[in-house]
Structure 1
Amino acid sequence: MTDLLSKFDPLIEERETLLATGVKDPFSLVMEEVLSPTVAICNGRETILLGTYNYMGMTFDDDVRQAGLKALEDFGSGTTGSRVLNGTYSPHKDCEEALKEFYAMDHAMVFSTGYQANLGIISTLAGKGDYVILDIDSHASIYDGCAMGNAEIVAFRHNDAEALEKRLKRLPAEAGKLVVLEGVYSMLGDVAPLKEMIRICKENGAMTLVDEAHSMGFIGENGRGVVEDQGVIDDVDFIIGTFSKSVGTVGGFCVSNHPKFEIMRLVCRPYVFTASLPPSVMATASTSIRKLMHSGNKRAHLWENSKKLHKGLRDLGFELGTPEAQSAIIAVIMPNLEKGAMMWQALLEEGLYVNLARPPATPANMTLLRCSLCAEHTSEQVDQILGMFEAAGKAVGAI
């Protein structure tokens, strides 16, 4: 009998070799208690959280929590059904209304996760005979949406508008074309040149979808993302996002002004064939989204945190993923997985949690320590974080 798990033997061996050095498993950390958006108890000690994507710190917002508690009382723990059957409650419709208000768009569709939003929208839009043109560093959910839709996949070099244009010009003029871009790329935290790219797409007859998972809430004057910041929000066809970052809960969505968009509710399999989110989750999401519309001060503070941490880490001698702060993500590049894991553990022992990111999730086979800042981090906490990086970096020989 063929062991279908044998294909993972190299990964199993790599993991066992890493753990044999005495490093704790960086992919199975347990948070025993969460005290706030920025602090938790990990391994029995108080730990600053710098790897949670909780960009706007909404997970402990009083209004958000109260909305969830009320919906739990009013509607129970779950819907036990699909949105197209018994799974649409008033909080689901209210959440979609909140999204339409937030983006000033005509249509909004909520999915059970952000992953499902990409899976569903991309696979439904682009099928056999169509083309999906995407950045080679696109998120796994984007690639999986392409595979499920059975479209032809055409990748171009990361953030290279000229390469995008060359790819588009080689495709049949009459073919259906969907260009999928991200506002902020989650590994390095770098921003796409969307203004130039959207212009190229329009000139070459391609529809556009922009994933704003890592920019919603804090980039752009109203927090609508890179599309707003670069002035192209009215030129994109679809915006994908998630509730598990700045919104502070779980779920995904797509917003659009396309006049035929509502038919997607009947033809999008990851929307039709899965249970809808609990009403309590929907209530927390809609409350958070509406508060994010008026969070200019929090956005400004988050930018201050990001610039301060980026400069501080660079001054300490760490190699970073971007030449300047471009988002709430700051990637610290490590020479290899072993050194990265040692640094990750040294930081944890200092009282700091960051993400250890490794190939194949990372571009160019890099090992990264990915820092995700929060608007609730104080300036003093950022100073503490820099001190922890300095101590850990010197302890493991990273600086």
Structure 2
Amino acid sequence: MNWMEKELERLADASLERTLHADSRVSGFPGYTGRGERRLLNMSSNDYLGLSQHPAILEVMREALLTEGAGSGASRHVTGNLLPYGRLEEALADWQNCESALVFANGYMANSGVISALVSRGDVVFSDQLNHASIVDGIVLSRAEHARYRHNDMEHLRSLLHKYRDKRRKLIVTDAVFSMDGDQAPLRELVALKREYGAMLMVDEAHSGGIYGRRGEGLCHELELLNDVDIHMGTFSKSFGLYGAYICGSRTLIRWLVNKARPLIYSTALPPSLITGISKALSLVQEEHWRRERLQAASRLFRSSLRDAGFHIGTGSSPIVPLIVGDNDRALRFSKALEVEGIAAVAIRPPTVPDSTARIRFSLSTAHTDKELIDASLLIRNVGIQLGVLRP
């Protein structure tokens, strides 16, 4: 197994080796993370609405833990489909205004399981080149042909749809908000192309659920396109502050997935205490509109501060703010310098992002105050000047 050492040396030389940090919660400071003895402003978490430490969620989970037990004990197809599951899925279908819903263990398993259940050899999947890895892996598992179109390039997608127009089944898959760039998919154009070529459309709302829509339903709802989307996917690990994922759609779709989605069939069900916590978070996401309003205001403030400083941060408007550095080593040094200044902001490098686009990916939260964001932007500017990313 000596080949591993050689490959790891190669990764280290290219500033691509990944390591794990030991982080901890900081009591009383929801927008921070603990690292060693230090408290760092947490600008890398996906806890967009600040719900991961919400007292009401913790309380219902504590009660469920005592009454329902620590684990589910089996897959949902055996004896793990406990009562909290049914209540949650009914509430999800009502929230999304869909016929039915299905909970998965996490977003990775939902995407890989759904795609491989819908298409196989003889079919084709059209996927944005910046889609999440779970989508890519789902396509590989399905054995369908993978037709990648240039990011948000609808003319390129049209040409691919025309090329593969005679395939048995055609599935278009896209993130709603792209996890590393923070920009949105052109959903209206995707709906038009889906109709024109008779394709299915699947939208991953992992980074837009809870943030967009009147009740946090997601970008499809905000654009009034839900009825035009065949497979609606979202997660509980971002705005909900917990863990897990869901699929919403027609009763037929959910019946099919119950029978064909292997990650659902062959995995132990999530603990009932977690399902109960998700149900409470779902209520809070719908009711506490101020969290979305605060997050949107924080995004505008932080984006304008970095843009005014001269940084390249892309064109999005979401709470995901990519500061493009380019060079892998410089991105690592930028992240380490920010940690010295009291900011936890992770360097993102290939293969997560394309070559030569290494970046610092900032993720904002309702928990961040205006002062914290303004102070952080000044520190980020100073580090950018020190490392030559900005000119003084």
What residue number does 1:332 align with?
323
Specify whether residues 142 and 78 from structure 1 end up closer, same or farther in structure 2 by C-alpha distance, changes over 3 A only. Answer: same
What residue number does 2:26 align with?
34
What residue number does 2:130 align with?
137
What residue number does 1:224 align with?
217
* Deviation sequence 1:81-127 (CA, Å, 0-9, x none): 10111111112222212211221111111111110000110000011
* Deviation sequence 1:103-155 (CA, Å, 0-9, x none): 11111111111100001100000111111111111111001111111111111
**Unmatched 5+ stretches in structure 1:** 20-24
* Deviation sequence 1:135-180 (CA, Å, 0-9, x none): 1111110011111111111111110112111111111436111110
Whether contact under 8 Å (1:216, 1:224) holds in the other structure is yes
Shift of 1:42: 1.3
Aligned identity (percent) is 31
Specify whether residues 255 and 17 from structure 1 end up closer, same or farther in structure 2 by C-alpha distance, changes over 3 A only. Answer: closer
| In 2: Cα distance, 1:364 partner to 1:224 partner | 34
Whether contact under 8 Å (1:195, 1:231) holds in the other structure is no
SS in 2 for 1:134: strand
What amino acid sits opposite 1:343 in the alignment?
F
| In 2: Cα distance, 1:287 partner to 1:267 partner | 29
Shift of 1:16: 5.5
The yes-or-no answer on 1:198 pairing with 2:191 is: yes
What residue number does 1:6 align with?
3
Root-mean-square deviation (CA, aligned residues, Å) is: 1.8
What residue number does 1:233 align with?
226
| In 2: Cα distance, 1:166 partner to 1:210 partner | 20
The yes-or-no answer on 1:156 pairing with 2:149 is: yes
Matched pairs, number: 389
What residue number does 1:22 align with?
none
What residue number does 1:15 align with?
12
Over 4 Å off, 4+ runs = 16-19
What residue number does 2:239 align with?
246
| In 2: Cα distance, 1:363 partner to 1:321 partner | 14
TM score, norm. by length of structure 2: 0.95
Question: What is the 5 A alignment of 1:1-399?
Answer: 3=1, 6=3, 9-15=6-12, 18=15, 27-35=19-27, 36-173=29-166, 175-322=168-315, 325-399=316-390
* Deviation sequence 1:17-68 (CA, Å, 0-9, x none): 759xxxxx87422113333431121131111101011011110111111111
Whether contact under 8 Å (2:122, 2:145) holds in the other structure is yes
| In 2: Cα distance, 1:28 partner to 1:113 partner | 21
Whether contact under 8 Å (2:182, 2:317) holds in the other structure is yes
| In 1: Cα distance, 2:180 partner to 2:321 partner | 9
What amino acid sits opposite 2:359 in the alignment?
L
What amino acid sits opposite 2:41 in the alignment?
I
Shift of 1:7: 6.8
What amino acid sits opposite 2:384 in the alignment?
G
Whether contact under 8 Å (1:133, 1:179) holds in the other structure is yes
Shift of 1:11: 4.6
SS in 1 for 2:359: strand
| In 2: Cα distance, 1:115 partner to 1:174 partner | 26
What amino acid sits opposite 1:32 in the alignment?
S
Whether contact under 8 Å (2:122, 2:167) holds in the other structure is no
Shift of 1:212: 0.5
* Of 134-143 and 260-269, the range deviating more from structure 2: 260-269
TM score, norm. by length of structure 1: 0.93
What amino acid sits opposite 1:342 in the alignment?
R
Specify whether residues 12 and 107 from structure 1 end up closer, same or farther in structure 2 by C-alpha distance, changes over 3 A only. Answer: farther
What amino acid sits opposite 1:31 in the alignment?
D
| In 1: Cα distance, 2:219 partner to 2:140 partner | 26
Whether contact under 8 Å (2:26, 2:39) holds in the other structure is no
SS in 2 for 1:59: coil
| In 1: Cα distance, 2:163 partner to 2:78 partner | 43
